[in-house]
Amino acid sequence: MKFEDIEIEDIDFGAMLEESFRKEDKKSDLVEGIIVKINEEDNQAIIDIGRKNEAIMSLDQIRDEDGTLIFKEGDSITVVVTGVRNEKPTVSYELAEKRAALAEFIEEYDEEQEYVVEGEITKKNKGGYVVDVSGLEFFMPRTLSYVSAKVNPIGKKVKALIVKVEKDKGTVIVSRKELIEREKAETQEIVDKLLENKAVVLGTIKKITSYGMFVDVGGMDGLVHYSQISHKGPVNPSKYYKEGDEVNVIAIDYDKKKRHLSLSIKEANLDPWKDIDGTLREGDSVAVVVSNIEPYGAFVDLGEDLEAFLHVSEISWDKNVKHPKDYIEIGQKIDVEIIEIDKQQRRLRVSRKTLLPKPIDTFASANRVGDVVTGTVSSVTDFGAFVKIGTIEGLLHNQEVSWDKAESAKDNFKVGEEVEVKIIKIDKQNGKVSLSKKALEESPVAAFVKAHKNGDIVKGVVKDKKEFGVFISLENGVDALIRLEDLEPLKEKEIEKGQTIRAVISFIDAKNDRIRVSVKRLERQEEREALDKVNDEQDSSMTLGDVFKAQLNK
């Protein structure tokens, strides 16, 4: 219920009090009587109160907690006449007891002392409410109740201040309004002081919720929202505090209508980002504690209310990190390097792997180009296969899988398969290792070179045509190139795939598997061979024309 919504009427509470008790005073009298008969069957006591007819009363009013009667026939008893039933007065011992207790309270009441009482609203009338305080009935006028007319207050527990005692009427008047307005004034005084001075005060955490913490400051509760706990940003308060902890806070706002006091812990502490340039620099190595782990990385605590982000890619040199928790755990102390300080965005990024030995360095110190090693296929792609050797992954490119250029990694390997390869390149700068499987076998060109040399005449079938020449396939699957300038006297446009061409070997590079042949050189070479034969011919009658004719006939 909002205090501002309460309706308060301006009525003379003295008149209301008279109205409240007028009818009761006419029919209720405090009298002395004698119990003349106790009827257990009817649960009634017959009492002589000195009137024409004897009075009746329920036995329940004179039983103790165990149900035993506390009076017997012939005992004197003080009662209050409450009404008439079938021409017989009805009386109440309980009401007499309350009257007696109230009279005793009034008699001992000290006007110099202030009394704050707590009770339950039990009755309601036009003038106000009856509040039962430990069996004593006090009157609370409506104007002093701070109770909305829209609300049924019966059964409501209230605190109130005794504002008037009328001994002649036997009534005690209480005010809830006086107490509430006094508390509001005290609260406002506390709030004004907190907001005006902006001083750091010590508070005690009373309750922790998912959205923040309620903190008691000088008898008043304020809320520290989870976004006002740390300079790190919104945090889960239960991870940092527990109920009963004392914390320094500053008041930052007060909603008078809702009576909400907003507090801040982070504003009560120095902002580490203001002097971040003087405490941290990119490249610094710091010790941190892992505070939270997510699939995409981890958050680490640097102390001094600073938190940094450790991306999953910065946890290890292993490129196949599936989840950070496989490498680190919450609460673990680790060393990291500052790799980014964004003061404007208040963001810190760190790396763990930069402080760890690079796998490529470890690998290079233990292996050399030309070494034969065994690894496990970790993945197969369109361009080759990655082979894991210790802590690194080397690339076995398709062109290094087999001497047969038509074959690829997908044709030969499966993930998890062990494979023997040769190291053909170690690039420490870029952290790359190149591997070859075909290097473990003799190349077709190397085998070809053993049986052939420059100047040998060979035959090949046209395999492919390019802008720079024609490729022909020789024996054992060896390819050779005829450059355009070496095609003469053949015409490029007349050459077709599958056509057989005779040529002479003009260049062999076994190391790089390259062979070039020349038709043009073949023609010159055959001319020289023909001339040599003429010179050696014993038959002097044969002319040079005859020799050329014989060669052409061949």
**Residue 17 half-sphere exposure, CB side, CA atoms within 13 Å?**
18
> How many domains, the chain?
5
Hey, what are 81's tokens?
């006449």
Query: In this structure, are residues 148 and 131 in contact, taking their beta carbons and an 8 Å threshold?
Result: no
Query: In this structure, are residues 500 and 458 in contact, taking their beta carbons and an 8 Å threshold?
Result: no
For residue 11, give the 3-state DSSP assignment: coil
Cα–Cα distance for residue pair 59/40, rounded to 1 Å: 8
Residues contacting residue 306 through CB under 8 Å, at least 6 positions apart: 231, 232, 272, 348
Say whether both 392 and 367 belong to one domain: yes
Where is average pLDDT lowest: 58-62, 197-201, 464-468? 197-201
Return the percent helix, strand and coil in the chain, to nearest 5.
Answer: 25, 40, 35
Structure confidence at residue 350 as a pLDDT band (50, 70, 90) = very high
The answer, yes or no, to whether residue 519 has pLDDT greater than 70, is: yes
Say whether both 3 and 134 belong to one domain: yes
The angle formed by the CA atoms of residues 527, 532 and 533, to the nearest 5 degrees, is 100
Compute, in degrees rounded to 10, the torsion defined by CA atoms 298, 303, 308, 314: -60
What tens digit of pLDDT does each residue of 103-129 get?
Answer: 778 877 887 788 888 999 988 887 889
Say whether both 37 and 133 belong to one domain: yes
Distances (CA, A) of 75 to 57, 304, 360, 428, 548: 14, 80, 108, 112, 167
| Sign, CA torsion 322/324/328/330 | negative
Say whether both 148 and 206 belong to one domain: no
Residue 534, in any domain of the structure: no
Residue 169, in any domain of the structure: yes
Residue 539, in any domain of the structure: no
DSSP per-residue letters across 177-246: HHHHHHHHHHHHHHHHHHHHH---EEEEEEEEETTEEEEEETTEEEEEEGGGS-TTSS--GGGT--TT-E
Query: In this structure, are residues 419 and 374 in contact, taking their beta carbons and an 8 Å threshold?
Result: yes
Say whether both 332 and 383 belong to one domain: no
Q: What is the CATH number of the domain that holds 307?
A: 2.40.50.140
**In which domain, by residue range, is 213 found?**
198-268
- Domain ends where: 440, 464, 480? 440
Residue 254, in any domain of the structure: yes
The answer, yes or no, to whether residue 92 has pLDDT greater than 80, is: yes
What tens digit of pLDDT does each residue of 235-244 get?
Answer: 888 888 999 9
The position carrying tokens 């701070």 is 146
Distances (CA, A) of 84 to 15, 56, 58: 27, 9, 14
Residue 15, in any domain of the structure: yes
**Of 355, 271, 348, 354, whose CA–CA distance to 308 is shortest?**
348
Say whether both 449 and 500 belong to one domain: yes
Residue 283, in any domain of the structure: yes
Residues contacting residue 143 through CB under 8 Å, at least 6 positions apart: 8, 9, 10, 11, 13, 128, 177
Say whether both 262 and 240 belong to one domain: yes
Say whether both 418 and 516 belong to one domain: no
Helix (H) or strand (E) holding 161: strand 157-166
Residue 19, in any domain of the structure: yes
Cα–Cα distance for residue pair 345/194, rounded to 1 Å: 30
Structure confidence at residue 546 as a pLDDT band (50, 70, 90) = low
87 C-beta neighbours (distance < 10 Å), count:
7
- Domain ends where: 237, 252, 268? 268
pTM of the model: 0.48
Cα–Cα distance for residue pair 10/37, rounded to 1 Å: 51
Helix (H) or strand (E) holding 545: helix 544-553
Query: In this structure, are residues 70 and 61 in contact, taking their beta carbons and an 8 Å threshold?
Result: no
**Of 448, 444, 449, 425, whose CA–CA distance to 435 is shortest?**
425
Compute, in degrees rounded to 10, the torsion defined by CA atoms 492, 493, 498, 504: -10
Share of the chain above pLDDT 90, in %: 26
What pLDDT score does 27 carry? 43
The mean pLDDT value for 29-37 works out to: 88
- Domain ends where: 215, 249, 268? 268
More confident residue, 69 or 255: 69
What tens digit of pLDDT does each residue of 147-195 get?
Answer: 877 778 898 998 888 888 887 777 888 888 888 888 777 777 777 777 7
What pLDDT score does 257 carry? 76
Say whether both 144 and 262 belong to one domain: no
Say whether both 35 and 150 belong to one domain: yes
Helix (H) or strand (E) holding 35: strand 30-39
What tens digit of pLDDT does each residue of 126-144 get?
Answer: 788 988 888 888 898 988 8
Cα–Cα distance for residue pair 123/13, rounded to 1 Å: 16
Say whether both 38 and 143 belong to one domain: yes
Query: In this structure, are residues 471 and 442 in contact, taking their beta carbons and an 8 Å threshold?
Result: no
Residue 530, in any domain of the structure: no
Task: Find residue 460's DSSP bridge partners.
Answer: 501
The position carrying tokens 């008691």 is 216
Say whether both 376 and 258 belong to one domain: no
Cα–Cα distance for residue pair 267/229, rounded to 1 Å: 8
Hey, what are 306's tokens?
């600073």
